[in-house]
Structure 1
Amino acid sequence: MRIAYQYKLRPTKLQVTELDRWLSMLCAQYNYLLADRFNWYEQNRCAIDACSLLCHLPQLRDNPDYFSQKKTLPQLKKTHPWYSEIYSQVLQDVVKRVKVTFDRFLKGDRNGKRSGRPRFKPHSRYRTFTYPQIKDSCLDGNSINLPMFGKVKVILHRQIPDGFKIKTASVTKKADGYYITLSLEDQTVPEIKPDFKPNKITGIDLGLKDFLTTADGETVAIPQHYRQAQKRLKVIQKRVSRRTKGSNRRRKAIQQLGCQHQKVAARRKDFHFKTANYLLSKYDVVAHEDLNIKGLARTRLAKSVLDAGWSDFLLILTFKAEKAGLLVIPVSAYNTSQDCSNCGEKVPKKLHIRWHDCPNCGCSLDRDHNAAINIKNRAVGHSVLKAKSLLSDSRIVLEACTIDLYSDWCRRCHSS
């Protein structure tokens, strides 16, 4: 299992200048390699018998793939000697980034979904370089030793646990300085429990009135971090607009605006982690709706949906559950708010109606509470649960787990 620990760096002024120079050179190399791919794509993408005889036929050449572009790096260091100061594996990682970006444009990702045409990056948008391999002994007290760069002071706000192996290190430039992200490999992931108690299973309904409602009727208030910071962001944004483009005062105002946005993101992330820890400390199985969050982010509720950060929260919840040997299960979101949780009868209601009243069985409770119970019922309605956990880089599929609910329905399922 891979986890990431992020620490803030405290480089000197000379080291900051050197880090900026590295990023500038890597950005130029990234754009050059991407332009080489586009040049081949534009000249050789159609068959020769499909081209017009009146057009100019360029000289055909091989597709610049990952290996051919990687072989150009030694020649780059001869023609541009200053690139020899950059660690070789960092340069190779730039070639890999170009490959991944261009392959997603032509072929799509593992799900077949293609991304848009890659764009050339300005220096202000190329913010990260990666060491694909780094020694475990790189951390020495309150400093980290980066190959061919030197030792940089780091704030170790938490120690790396014993048994964890450092795999990669990424240096990122943010609004308030430089950070380093260490990718760690953990071999001590506990196995998923073979059975769960019925009182340790719950369903959660994500919403905008309350952040979530559990099947037990417990609610978590939505903090709305971005809306609370809008007044301050508006003042700083006006300050940026009044500054002359290209001036130092405008650059400082942009940095101040970036720091404010970073604070909002950090508060939201802290809230997500605390909420996920609370749920997993109380329940062993958490079921949630399989929502189309990208689709909701294009509606009139876009600002509220993005401010809530449902996607990030579900990713954090799934990751924390896997690390603890617990389960997070996505279920179908179809009619969870319309169906009665007591009798199953469909009770149509519009979005502004926040109370569920069933004329069939007399069930009366909050709309979100009713939906959370339906989500829980759908999760425990089968004796075998399959949970798919989508992590940022690993995408691990959890094994099927049998849940004994001590009910007559489950006994019939086991017997059959």
Structure 2
Amino acid sequence: MRLAYQYRLLPTSSQQATLNRWLDMLRHQYNWMLADRFDWWESNRCAVNSCPLVCSIAQAREQPEYYGQKRSLVGLKQDRPWYKEIHSQVLQDMVKRVKLAFDRYLKGDCNGKKSGKPRFKGANRYHSFTYPQPSIDWIDGNKIELPKIGAVKVVWHRPLPEGFEVKSAILTHKADGWYVTLSLQDESVPEQTVDVVPDWDNSIGIDMGLEYFVADSEGDLIDYPRHLRAAESKQALLQQKRELRPKGSVAGARLNQRIARLHQKIARQRYQFHCETANLLLSKADVIFTEDLNVANMMKRCKPKQDTDGTFLPNGQAAKSGLNKSFADAGIGQFVNQILPFKAEKAGKQTIKVNPTGTSQHCCICLNRVPKELSDRWHSCSYCGNQMPRDTNSGVLIKKVGLGLASLKKARKPKGLEKPALYA
């Protein structure tokens, strides 16, 4: 079983300077190795039979690869002795990051999904480095002994589980300081296996939305606190003050830190709300049916509209931008795709994704289509007389579709019922 525990570090001023210096040197070498791979790829990616007949032939050189770039670290320390200050395994892990970023760009991950072209890391985009082979012996009381850095104080807000082996230690620089993430593994503890058979009694369906964060099939509605909206006025005030400061000034940098800490607080509030909501839902049922949502597509910008003379027409993006901010504030994607499945697996329970197509436009009782606009928040079926909140109706229908009790593709109007005026 693999777990990750994160703790806050309290380094001294000299230790903090060392950590920042390491991070900056690792970032520069990461960018250099990434540029070396890009240079070779741009020069040699074309096949011989696809090259133009008239071109300058560049001198062939060995392709940069993982082990070759690791061997180059020996010469790096000779040419730049200050890199000897960094622990050797931390440097080697930086080379592994370059390899993973480039492989995801060319080959994709284990599921075949490719990432975008890797970007060079600016000072605000390289935040962590890793000790790949730590030891439990590094921990001594309220301190952790980090090689070449020294004993750093740790806030042990919860004890480490017994019997686990420390597999890696990741040091991360956040807006409010440094943190260490210990990856723990215990081979004697088997991975959680879920063998729950869903039925009507041990399962619920949930519908995600913005009016209510969660509406389940039992009729319960959970609102979300809108943390970002609540902090908008404070955020705007800080940003206005920052714009009045000269660029690159110390005062501007301090205001940037305050803005970063504010966003970090919002993210933590949202994460805590998601965890509490997941625990509440898992206390009701062993199986949770959720919508298979693609939140990235839901937050896309509206397509531009042009008149015959090329003039751009209103396309509704002004209203869509507010909707996108609400989606980001709610964090639906993080909850459905990350937190809820993790909590369910840890509790020995299960989450199943259901195709959401039509779940908001059909009745959960008679399965007839009841068209509704986005502003219509009440479900009223003219066929069977079903009356309930729109989101609750969707939650019940998601549960039925997940259990195989309903199929919206075969939903038809019951015989003997006249077509209502809505369809006329």
**TM-score higher than 0.5:** yes
Q: Shift in Å at residue 368 of structure 1?
A: 0.3
2:100 matched residue in structure 1: 100
How far apart, in 1, do the equivalents of 2:201 and 2:160 lie? 35
In 2, the alpha carbon distance for the partners of 1:318 and 1:165 equals 25
- CA shift, 1:194, in A, is 4.4
Match of 1:276 in 2: 278
Q: Deviations over 1:52-94 (max 9, x none)?
A: 3443211112221111111111221222222122111111111
Query: Take 1:191 and 1:40, find their aligned partners in 2: how far apart are those partners?
Result: 45
Where does residue 409 of structure 2 map in the other structure? none
Verify the 8 A CA contact 1:205 1:371 in the aligned structure 2: yes
Cα deviations by residue, 1:71-124 (Å, 9 ceiling, x for unpaired): 111221222222122111111111111111112222223333332222211223
Query: Alignment partner of 2:124: what SS?
Result: helix
How far is 1:136 from its partner? 2.0
> TM-score of the superposition, structure 2-length normalised?
0.86
Instruction: Give distance in 2, aligned partners of 1:39 and 1:54.
Output: 21
Question: 1:72 is paired with a residue of what secondary structure?
Answer: helix
- Corresponding residue for residue 126 of structure 2: 126
| Structural mapping, 1:27-38, within 5 Å | 27-38=27-38
* Structure 1 unmatched runs, 5+: 383-416
Q: Does 1:309 align with 2:311?
A: no
- Residue 188 (structure 1) shift: 4.9
**Corresponding residue for 1:258?**
260
The residue aligned with 2:113 is: 113
Match of 2:183 in 1: 183
- Does residue 247 of structure 1 match 2:245? no
Q: Name the residue aligned to 2:201.
A: 199
User: Aligned letter for 2:251?
Assistant: R
CA distance in 1, matches of 2:198, 2:375: 36
Cα distance in structure 2, aligned partners of 1:189 and 1:47: 46
1:375 aligned residue (398, 402, 421):
398
CA offsets 1:344-397 (integer angstroms, 9 cap, x no match): 112121111111111111111111000000111122227xxxxxxxxxxxxxxx
Distance 1:193 1:119, change over 3 A: closer
State the Cα distance separating 1:46 from its structure 2 match.
Answer: 1.3
1:140 equivalent in alignment to 2:140: yes
- Determine helix, strand or coil for the equivalent of 2:358: coil
Letter aligned with residue 276 of structure 1: A
Q: How big is the alpha-carbon RMSD for the aligned residues of Structure 1 and Structure 2?
A: 1.6
| AA partner of residue 244 (structure 2) | R
User: Per-residue deviation at 1:147?
Assistant: 2.2
Kept after mapping to 2: 8 A contact 1:331/1:375: yes
Structure 1 outlier segments of 4+, above 4 Å: 193-197
- Give 2:382's aligned residue: 359
Q: Is the 8 A contact 1:30 1:95 kept in 2?
A: yes
More divergent stretch after superposition (81-90 vs 315-324): 81-90
1:392 aligns with none
1:393 match: none
Taking structure 1 as the reference length, what is the TM-score of the superposition? 0.88
The aligned counterpart of 1:405 is none
AA aligned to 2:356 is: A
Q: Which amino acid aligns with 2:387?
A: S
Q: Paired residue for 2:370, among 312, 337, 347?
A: 347
Q: CA separation in 1, counterparts of 2:151 and 2:76?
A: 27
Q: CA distance change for structure 1 residues 312 and 9 in 2, over 3 Å: closer, same or farther?
A: same
Which residue of the partner structure matches residue 19 of structure 2?
19
| Counterparts of 1:112 and 1:303, CA distance in 2 | 30
Aligned residue identity for 1:182? L
Instruction: Provide the C-alpha distance between the structure 2 equivalents of 1:194 and 1:318, rounded to a whole number of angstroms.
Output: 14
Equivalent-residue separation in structure 2 for 1:228 and 1:293 (angstroms): 22
Q: Which residue of 2 aligns with 1:159?
A: 159
User: Residues 206-249 of structure 1, C-alpha deviation per residue, up to 9 Å, x if partnerless?
Assistant: 00001100100001111111111100000111111111111111
Q: Which residue is equivalent to 2:412?
A: none
